[in-house]
Amino acid sequence: MTVIAYRSLLFCVLAFVCRFVPATAQSPEDLPAACELKNQRQQRRFYQRGNAPDDLTDDYDWPTSTLSAQGIDPAVVAPGLERLADSPRRLSLILIRNGHIVHEQYFNGSHAADSNNIASVSKSILSALVGLAFDQGYFLNVDDRVAGYLPDYFEDSDDPRLLDLRLRHLLTMTHGLAWQENESERSLNRSQDWVADILSLPISNAPGSLFHYSTGVSHVMSAVLTEATGMSTCEFAHRYLFAPLGIEADFWGVDPKGYFTGGHSVSMTARELARFGQLFLQEGRWHGKQVVPGWWVVASTSPQVDIGDNYAGYGYYWWLNQIAGYDMYSALGAAGQILHVIPELELVLVTTHSFAGNPRDYAEEAESYQFLWDDLIPAIDAP
């Protein structure tokens, strides 16, 4: 055997072995504490908030500017900013235009270094990780069968509808499983295997036929990503997405089997979340480097399924809308964790809220839409 042939064979063997590294494999020492499984306290609750420390490492130098220098009339937008400041639960508000922070404010004792549970905004981050996995060859097609990556969870199933579950169905919430958001999670608080219990739910409709929001399904996507890459979702995120952006998650939930939570229970600062939004606004580029493939940014923020409810559709873990005639995509989390991106106006808006005492009635989401519609966009369009 020639040296070249030997090296080629060795590469193939290593690639095959890495594909099947178990979910509980330990992260290298250079990863943040949030990714360490060995010393992580066992948590049984599905939604995990943790006690994220202040992010004293977040010293990224954001370019700043003024509202007027970036084409926003301060007098027109001022009433809206004052209205948003009058909230007992708001923690942060960051407005970026043309790549510059033009307004940044913290409320109710919060500071720039404070990490916050971004809840289901994490799903949009998971979407970016899936795009990176495609780019690196771990996934071949969004129509890949889930069973191909998690075979042990499907070996006892004889329902052809479950066996036909595809990556696309997970990413677009068209999975067909009888998950009840805010109800099904409770049973998982007593579960030793979240993925097994999620996939054992009855099939209520054929996968691909109906949008059905499910935080459980996004957790299955995290398990798929882990098995495909041979890295935990936390490790994969920090190596290939967070590191180029200067982001470090200060807490990341993990299930009893060692799979990091997919689509919830991640903590980071408002500025870090804003950088993620700006990355997508720039079609996956950061400081001249293509971090997330541009084709994935376009696909994941384009309508993949019709969901009604006044939305323009749902992409791959992104909510799509139109506001004042402009296309907008959003990452939305419980209790008012909000990231809005309006590409045509070069706008990124981030606002986070406390979970304490929050009725989760989507009031904060409605307030952010009102601010964009009534105050911010008119301030840009103003002569």
Tens of pLDDT, residues 211-224: 999 999 999 999 99
Other C-beta atoms lying within 10 Å of the C-beta of residue 205: 14
pLDDT at 339 > cutoff 80: yes
CA distance 125 to 87: 27
**187 compared with 57, residue with greater pLDDT:** 187
Q: What is the three-class DSSP state of 313? A: strand
CA pair distance 213, 216, nearest whole angstrom: 9
Given the DSSP bridges, would you call strands 116-117 and 266-268 parallel, antiparallel or unpaired?
antiparallel
Q: Compute the average pLDDT of residues 31-57.
A: 68
What pLDDT shows up at residue 234? 97
More confident call, 62 vs 320: 320
Classify 41-381 by CATH class. Answer: alpha beta
Q: Which amino acid, one-letter code, is at 303? A: P
Residue 93 has pLDDT above 70, yes or no: yes
Q: Which two tokens stand for residue 347?
A: 């706008």
The neighbour count for residue 51, using CB atoms within 10 Å, is: 8
Q: How confident is the model at residue 303 (pLDDT cuts 50, 70, 90)?
A: very high
pLDDT at 309: 78
pLDDT digits (tens, 9 = 90+) for 117-140: 999 999 999 999 999 999 999 999
Q: What percent of the chain has pLDDT over 70?
A: 85
pLDDT at 38 > cutoff 90: no
CA 28 to the chain's CA centroid: 23
Residue 3 has pLDDT above 60, yes or no: no
Return the number of other C-beta atoms located less than 10 Å from residue 81's C-beta: 18
Task: Tell me the C-alpha distance between 375 and 84, whole Å.
Answer: 11
Label residue 61 by pLDDT band (50, 70, 90).
confident
Binned at pLDDT 50, 70 and 90, residue 359 comes out as: low
Please, what is the average pLDDT of the chain? 87
Which is more confident, 275 or 44? Answer: 275
Averaged over 189-217, what is the pLDDT? 93
Q: What is the mean pLDDT of residues 170-186?
A: 93
First to last CA, the chain: 74
- Which of the four pLDDT bands, split at 50, 70 and 90, describes residue 159? confident
Q: Are 338 and 332 in contact (CB under 8 A)?
A: yes
- The model scores a pTM over 0.85: yes
